Structure 1
Amino acid sequence: MDVQILFVDDALFMRRVIRTALNECGFENLLEAADGDEAIRIYRESRPGIVLLDITMPGKSGLDVLDEIMKIDPEAVVIMCSAIGQEKTIEQAVRKGASDYITKPFKSTNLAGIIKKYL
């Protein structure tokens, strides 16, 4: 599938898991960022069709990055990735413009299902 997806997570292991899950589901046009500043820079340069954004990161949080992306493009498709127990933060992200969310750990088929809703 040719949609470009940017995924953002400070944990290298999680970025590898996400890349593998996306590849297994046929997504190959992938960009990745390890922190919020890198995510914003890549978003400005590439304007990916979908962003998978971790909520909890050092430095700029996922909510901060979401704010910046929404300023750049209010129609951006941003799917927040959260750990179990972050329901209030997820609600806040949706109010700020997030399109959807997925809770970690997740199955690749669940991730693909959410992404396909926005293609």
Structure 2
Amino acid sequence: MSIRVLIVDDAPFIREVLRGSLQSANFEVVGEAQNGTDAVRLFSELHPDLVLMDIIMPKMSGIDATKEILQIDPSAKVVACSTVDDEQMMNRAIEAGCVKYITKPFEKNVLINTLKQLVE
């Protein structure tokens, strides 16, 4: 059974790179969102195994979206992905309920292995 993933990032190029990396490793990308508001809506519709969540986005931040997703499903697994390598930001994401914080750019193998470990 493949791992179902929702990709959330306001940058189309990042979504494209993530989609390609995940699909080549037999993950199923069930949806993509460009802001936190759309992420919450898609999560409630699609119920993915994992959410890859950018932190800084328009309309609703990834931190606020993570909090809302966890209200829908307290067992949801949200992985924060951000270009911001800042300890305070990492702490805010973890406090919001993210299970992991990955900084961009990331190596494909590291990303894939991290995600697989989270659903085992």
Secondary structure in structure 2 of the residue aligned to 1:76: coil
Q: Is the 8 A contact 2:78 2:99 kept in 1?
A: yes
Matched residue type, 1:2: S
Matched residue type, 2:65: V
Deviation for aligned residue 1:28:
2.8
Deviation for aligned residue 1:17:
0.8
1:83 aligns with 2:83: yes
1:17 aligns with 2:45: no
Partners of 1:78 and 1:85 in 2: CA distance: 18
Question: What residue in structure 2 maps to residue 6 of structure 1?
Answer: 6
Question: What residue in structure 2 maps to residue 60 of structure 1?
Answer: 60
* TM score, norm. by length of structure 2: 0.92
* Larger RCO, structure (CA 8 Å, separation 6 or more): 1
Question: What residue in structure 2 maps to residue 111 of structure 1?
Answer: 111
Q: Is the 8 A contact 2:43 2:69 kept in 1?
A: yes
Q: Is the 8 A contact 1:40 1:68 kept in 2?
A: yes
Partners of 1:86 and 1:56 in 2: CA distance: 13
Identity, % of aligned positions: 41
* TM score, norm. by length of structure 1: 0.93
Question: What residue in structure 2 maps to residue 93 of structure 1?
Answer: 93
Q: Is the 8 A contact 2:8 2:34 kept in 1?
A: yes
Partners of 2:71 and 2:53 in 1: CA distance: 16
Matched residue type, 1:48: P
Cα root mean square deviation, aligned:
1.2
